[in-house]
Every structure is written in C-alpha cells, then in structure tokens.
Structure 1
Amino acid sequence: MLTYAEALAVLMKEAQPLGNERVGLSLSMGRILAGPVTSPLALPSFDNAAMDGFAIRQGRGPIPAGTAFTVAGMQAAGDNTTAFPGGEACEIATGARVPDGFDTVVPVERCEREGDRVRLLQEEKRGQNIRLAGGDIMRGSAALAAGRRIDAAAIMLLAALGVDAVDVARLPRVAIINTGSELHASGPLPEGGIHDSNGPFLEAMLGSWGVVLLMRRRVPDTGDAFRLAVEEARVAGADLIVTTGAVSAGRFDFVPTALAAMGARELFHKVAIRPGKPILAARFDGGPMVLGLPGNPMAVAVGHRFFVAPALRGMAGLRAETPTRVRLVEGHEARPGLQHFALGRLETDEEGRQVARVQRNQAAYRIVPFTDANAWLTADSAFGEVVDAWPLDPVLAP
C-alpha cells in the first residue's frame, strides 16, 4: 500500500497544467494568473497634490509663517496645465497634477487668502503633501506574480494600470458522480435512505476553487448507471472526474472494476491514510483523470482537501502547498503506520503564540466537528508536540 507522499507523487505526475487563456478584466475575478504582470506605467503617473491647498514654487528650506505669495491660477484634478511660468503659487485640488517647478502643497486650512494673494499661517516644510510619480509602482516593475489568484485588490491595481485583459490558467472541467442507492435529494426520505451531502459539498468546494462543473450525477449501486455517467463526463470533455462511494472491498464496491472495464488505467488504490484509506485514482488514456473517494463524509472531505485540491493546483501550474508548523496543546491518539488527517482549531495561547487543538469526537461519519474546525492537522503515524496545519479551504492556501 502506498504512503500518502507516494500516492501524491503519482497523482501530481498526472495533474499537468491545462494551458492558458486570455480573459477580460471583468471576467478575471478568482482566476489564476498564468504569468507575471509588468507595470506598463508609473503610479501615480505624475506628481499630484495629496490634499486641497496651494502649491508653492520650488525653493530651499522651510517656509516661514507669514510668507505671502501671488496666486497664478487654479489647478483642478484632470487639468492638463503643466506649468504656470513665473507664478509663485497656484490653488490646487486633491489629485491634481503639481505644475512643473512647484515642490510643496500647503493645506487650505493653514492659509489665509485675500484676492490673488495667499499668506501662510504657520511655518511649512518643503516637499510636503505631494504624491510623487511612481510612489506606488514604477513603470516596468513587477506588479503581480504568476500564480496569483486574482482578487478585488488585484483588479483595482490592474484597472489603475490600464490593463483590460490578462492571461490566466484554463479552468479545469470537472464532473462529480456520487454513488449509492441510499442517496436522495432534500425532502422526505424513504426507509433506509439518507440525504446526499457529498455532492453539494464537492460542488461548493470546487466552485470556490474555480472550475467548470460539467455535471453532478447521483447514481444507484449498479455498474451500468455509473458507466453511463462516466461516459457522459468523458464526452463532455472532463479533465477530472470525482466520484464518491463504492471504492472499498464490499459486494457493492464496483467502481474499481467498472473503471477497469472501461479502459481506465489504475494509478493507485488504497493509501495508508486515515480517514479515506480506500481512495482510488485512475486515468483514461487521452482523457480525464478519476479520483474515487470513499463515501463517508469526512473521507470525502479529506479526499478533496489532500488529493483533489493538489491535483487542481497542478492543473493550474501552481507549486505544492507548504503547511504551517504549529504546536499541539494536547495529545491525540493515532494508529501507527498511517498518515492521519484530523480536524482542528488554530488558537492563540496566553503568550500570543499560535497553537493547535484537535477537535473532539471525530469520526468518518460525523459532520458537526467539521463545522466547528478552522484547520486540518496532519501527522505521520503519531501526533507529536508539533503538527502541520492546513487551511480548511484550499483557496486560502498561498
């Protein structure tokens, strides 16, 4: 049986980048930059006033209180006047270009104006209240790095730079197939039935990452229904098919056999982890990769977080995640020989340090501890004094 590290290495060899596409800025939210963005201009593009007041002609040293200047004109935001030849001062608005030869802006509330003369009410420092060209970013400088997920802040910067389209990683096309004759949608349940929680969970998590969800199917425990759903996903052009249930060793665990009969090449089946040991990975030559997750809710959560999410990172051309090392405040039992994934909470101790605590009453079928957690904690064979901590949502990983 493969270790988690061995299985992940096999998976990542298959999860190759899907290529890039160019999208408009209005469609780029949440997408992953395929390459770095270099600033096409300086921000600000010109020296401008940081507040309303009076721009004073360039000089040396502080300007004494009581100094008076003749106001040559008015400079509003958006005005294209570049100079006031011979002028000693000009009225200026916030954001307006500072005319050539002027080096200081005095706030209007620290000035007294009479006609075309303005007098300073206190001593003023040279060079104050001016936003210098390139003070935010210089032309030709790196604006955003490749692999950056575009958020609202990135869109603000790109828009300010006049960038209207960017190259991003192609969105993976994903299909979800939930197996189980006992699964039903919300509403009244028949005897022995349960509500399907794995399908909505996977749809939500994959939507958070950013995928093209081709389909989500719920199929009974029969090979034909499963085969038809897989064929539908393949015809639709899926890059990844995620299934839940029917991957263990029982009478109704038909997924491994069904995939093999359809020509899928098994990458691995069963990994030394807990929960989620029966997980399966397969590949159709020239077609989609398949990740078959066990049916228990927490096995699905682990399978998504530590197998599906890394595969999606690989398809986007991103490097592997790096966990945070944190101190565990109390012990947690672990079965030797397995990689353990536990729900936990990151907290701050009395000395202001980040520490971790394992959630109580965890089991593969229990969902409530998942709703109270804020991190995944992982340990190889045993939970020692220090563990690896991972964000619950892979979108939040660097």
Structure 2
Amino acid sequence: MTPHGARAGEDAEDLDVEEVLALVRNSNGNHLPDPAARGETDSARTPHQPDPAARPGTRHRATPWPEARALAERAGRNATRAARRDPVSAPLDTALGLTLAAPLDALTDLPSFDTSAMDGWAVCGPAPWHVRDEGVLAGHAAPAPLTDGEAVRIATGARIPPDTSAVLRSEHGRTDDKGRLYATRDVVPGQDIRPRGQECRTGDQLLAVGTLVTPAVLGLAAAAGYDTVTAVPRARAEVLVLGDELLTQGLPHDGLIRDALGPMLPPWLRALGAEVTAVRRVRDDAEALHEAITTSDADVILTTGGTAAGPVDHVHPTLSRIGAELLVDGVKVRPGHPMLLARITETQHLVGLPGNPLAAVSGLLTLAEPLLRILAARPAPEPYTMPLRDAVHGHPHDTRLVPVVLRGDEAVPLHYNGPAMLRGIAAADALAVVPPGGARPGQDTELLDLPWASGGIGVCFT
C-alpha cells in the first residue's frame, strides 16, 4: 500500500498554492463584470470555438481522464491570475476550510503567564507546608506570593503565585491531623508548572501562509489572540439543476423522479472549499438556461444534465450562443463521459455535470474538484494506491471510477456502481481509478478519497 497525505516539496507548477496565494491581492473587489457587460447579446462575445450546431452529426474527441483534471487545474490558475482577489478577514466562526493568506503569528505569549498544569497545591520551599484557607482558581487575579513552608490549593490553568517552587498534584499529597501538607513523592522544582511562553512567544510564527484552516487551527488562533484570520476568499459556486422530470419531495410517480443532485451537490461543494451562493431549478428550456447562466455572478457555475445531444440538452447550444470556450468536451471516464468544462469569461467557468447521480459525482471529482482546489489555494492530495480485493471489469478505452470501501490494507469494490446509482457511493470510502481494461485482484490502484472519509477538513461540510 502506498500511503497518502499532503504533497511536500513539489514544484510551484504542480502545487500551485504559492502562486495562488501571491495572486490574492490588490483586486478591485469585483470578481466578475456586471452580467449586462459580459454578454447578454450574442455579439458581445467573441466565440472561442466552432458553433456546435453541427454536433448531432459529429463525434467530438473526449479528453483522457488525467488530462481533463490537469486542464481543470490550469483553468483555476488562469482564473486566479485574472481575478487577483483580495484576501478576506474571516471571523473564526466562518473560517473553517479556508486557506491562510497571511502567517499566523502569536499575538501573545502562550501561556501568557505561569499556570498550573494540574489540580493540587502550589508549594514554596520544603515540606511540610501550611495550607492557606483560600485557593487559587483559573480566571482569577494574581494571587499573593507564597513564603517558605506555605502552600495554597490551585486548579488546573490557574495563575501560579509568585515564589512558587512547584505544583504538588492532589494525588501526591496528604495532610496530618494538624492540617500540614506532606508530599508522598519527591518534589522536583518547577514540576507541573507551565511557564509563560512555553508554547510560543509573542511574534513567533505559528502557522505559515497556505495552511488549511482546520478545527485545530481555529483553536490555536483563538488561543493566540485572534478574532479573525486573513484567508483566501472562497470561490462562489452556483448550482443549476436542469430538468422538467425532477421532484423535490414525495415519491416518484408518473414518469417523474426525485432530484438527488440538488441536495447532494451543495454540501459537497462546501467540502471542496466553495461558497454555494444559490441552487436554482431550471426547466428544460433554452431561454431559461441562457438567462440563468448569463445572470449568474458565481465564479463557478455547475449544471446538472443537458450535456449530451438530446432534444432538450441545451447546455452546448447555450455555451455556443454566449461565446464560451469549451476547455473539456467529454472525458474518457465511466460513468460521466459527457461532462464538460467551459470558460465563460476569464474569471468565470461552467462545469457541466451529467444528469445521472453517480456520473455527476464523477464529473464533480474530475473537473470541479481540481478547479475549486486551485481557486481555494489548497494543496493537491498526494496520490496513493491500495490493492483491490476483487477484480474490477474495465472499459476497453476509458478510465472507470468505482466506489470502494477500505478494509485493512485492501480496497473492496462495491456493487451498485451504475451511472444512475448512489447506493454504492453512499457506503464508500473512496473511488478506485480503474485503468482501461480493468484491474485484477491484488492490483495496486489509485484511490480518490471522499470528503467524509478522508480525515481532512471535508468531514465538516461547512
């Protein structure tokens, strides 16, 4: 098994974090021009591709899966260069999942005063000790100094009285019938005292630029005196759920089916570092789709369905109409072959996801994840492999993404992995990247972690 983690020591072109962080500065505060200024009319844009009106009679060339992911990363870099977004000052309760755009330097010594590491007694000099009547609690003002032969009850985290020799733990002390305190073990000077500045001194760099804000980072920032952190702003994402056949509640009936992607995509996008600004439902109508796309101010628009060449598949004609540039038009991957990535403006992209749920997940991890990762200045996860317990049938020419669960040192392929099924991935820990032709039992296979199983910030879905 090949272990996985964050990349280290990569070139800037591979990691992208330093470049993205450097570009998050001195913007004019506007991510995108006003919708009217960016192409409400056909003549407002210069087309970047041939008109795909002839598409039904032609076969486009699908992009290999690894290349498609690389193209999505490149699109993210180009958008970052064009946008030059200002860093944001994010309150701690909203900063989870962001990337630090400035170092986290300590604003105070930690601890900021000598504190007790244990419940017990602060003692001065050798035993026996006379114990003061009143103890010292955390959060109280500075206590009076101790003198030789004196002790005072003290709580964990409380300020150490001046001239204290050591802290004697509660379980290591006893008192006689006269109330004098004795130690049941040797007392070492300084024991169980956390001296001021033990963890850091004011001005010490605690975390570097590019650090992902995790719950532990939030705790450290608060302890170090921060109310806000300076971070890379979240990319704004909007989801357009296409289709007249979709229900938002109740049981399927009369040819109508429940919408699975509307509930699934927003939390997944948040786990990838995006701010989901809206989820809009768009009927199967070319004008309605055109209006939805051209009025969106999101950095990334995601559409569901409509990417093939059926009678109500309006995504390609609409992209052609507004002069968008197709960067990826189909990917050699199953499920999810008809996914696409288009550049609408220098700072706005559209990811076209297939309408089948598992195919949409494939598109999300193939195109949206690399794009959003770069925009968020997150490092790429280190690729890792595990042997498959069972054989997996492959496509003759395309990569397959197959849900698996991790059991010990093996990845176990799951059933219910058809493009319209979610039963397999709902139980999965990862997706196995199965090369063309399939994989045999015991073959090491690359895995893509799913947010809820990766052990990273994605588990929080905020």
Q: Per the shorter chain, which TM-score range?
A: 0.7 to 0.9
How far 1:166 moved relative to its partner?
0.7
1:205 to 2:261 alignment: no
1:221 to 2:279 alignment: no
User: What's the TM-score once normalised by structure 2's chain length?
Assistant: 0.74
Tell whether the 8 Å contact from 1:305 to 1:392 is kept in structure 2 after alignment. no
* Counterpart for residue 8 of structure 1: 69
* Counterpart for residue 51 of structure 2: none
Distance 2:327 2:203 in 1: 45
* Counterpart for residue 79 of structure 1: 141
How far 1:190 moved relative to its partner?
5.5
1:98 to 2:153 alignment: no
**Local SS of the residue matching 1:102:** coil
Distance 1:105 1:20 in 2: 45
Read off the aligned partner of 2:165 and give its amino acid letter: D
1:252 to 2:312 alignment: yes
Tell whether the 8 Å contact from 1:54 to 1:92 is kept in structure 2 after alignment. yes
Choose the corresponding residue for 1:171, options 234, 238, 242: 234
Q: How does 1:1-398 map to 2 (within 5 A)?
A: 1-16=62-77, 17=80, 18-57=85-124, 67-70=127-130, 76-77=136-137, 78-81=140-143, 83-84=145-146, 86-94=147-155, 95-108=157-170, 110-112=173-175, 118-127=180-189, 128-187=191-250, 191-233=254-296, 237-348=297-408, 354-381=409-436, 382-384=438-440, 385-393=443-451, 396-397=455-456
Read off the aligned partner of 1:150 and give its amino acid letter: V
Residue deviations 1:160-199, cap 9 Å, x none? 2221111122122211112223223223656322222122
How far 1:158 moved relative to its partner?
1.9
* Alpha-carbon distance change, 99 to 358 in structure 1, aligned in 2, over 3 angstroms: same
How far 1:303 moved relative to its partner?
1.1
Distance 1:130 1:191 in 2: 72
Distance 2:120 2:218 in 1: 31
* Alpha-carbon distance change, 361 to 195 in structure 1, aligned in 2, over 3 angstroms: closer
* Counterpart for residue 8 of structure 2: none
* Alpha-carbon distance change, 106 to 293 in structure 1, aligned in 2, over 3 angstroms: same
Distance 2:448 2:93 in 1: 31
Read off the aligned partner of 2:399 and give its amino acid letter: Q
Tell whether the 8 Å contact from 2:110 to 2:200 is kept in structure 1 after alignment. yes
**Larger displacement relative to structure 2 (248-257 or 164-173):** 248-257
Distance 2:379 2:215 in 1: 23
* Alpha-carbon distance change, 318 to 149 in structure 1, aligned in 2, over 3 angstroms: closer
* Alpha-carbon distance change, 186 to 53 in structure 1, aligned in 2, over 3 angstroms: closer
Q: Which has the higher contact order (CA 8 A, sep 6+)?
A: 2
Residue deviations 1:193-229, cap 9 Å, x none? 2222122211232244453333222223331121111
> Which structure 2 residue ranges, 5 or more long, are not aligned?
1-61, 458-462
**Local SS of the residue matching 1:284:** strand
Distance 1:90 1:355 in 2: 58
Read off the aligned partner of 1:87 and give its amino acid letter: D
**Local SS of the residue matching 1:216:** strand
Distance 1:375 1:88 in 2: 63
* Alpha-carbon distance change, 96 to 87 in structure 1, aligned in 2, over 3 angstroms: farther
Distance 1:142 1:32 in 2: 16
Distance 1:281 1:177 in 2: 15
Distance 2:232 2:75 in 1: 17
How far 1:329 moved relative to its partner?
1.3
User: What's the TM-score once normalised by structure 1's chain length?
Assistant: 0.85
**Larger displacement relative to structure 2 (260-269 or 281-290):** 281-290
How far 1:100 moved relative to its partner?
4.0
Distance 1:209 1:316 in 2: 8
Taking only aligned residues, the RMSD between alpha carbons, in angstroms, comes to 2.7
How far 1:346 moved relative to its partner?
0.5
How far 1:3 moved relative to its partner?
1.4
Residue deviations 1:282-331, cap 9 Å, x none? 11124520011111111101111232122111111112222332121121
Distance 1:321 1:285 in 2: 28
Distance 1:369 1:393 in 2: 15
Tell whether the 8 Å contact from 1:8 to 1:307 is kept in structure 2 after alignment. yes
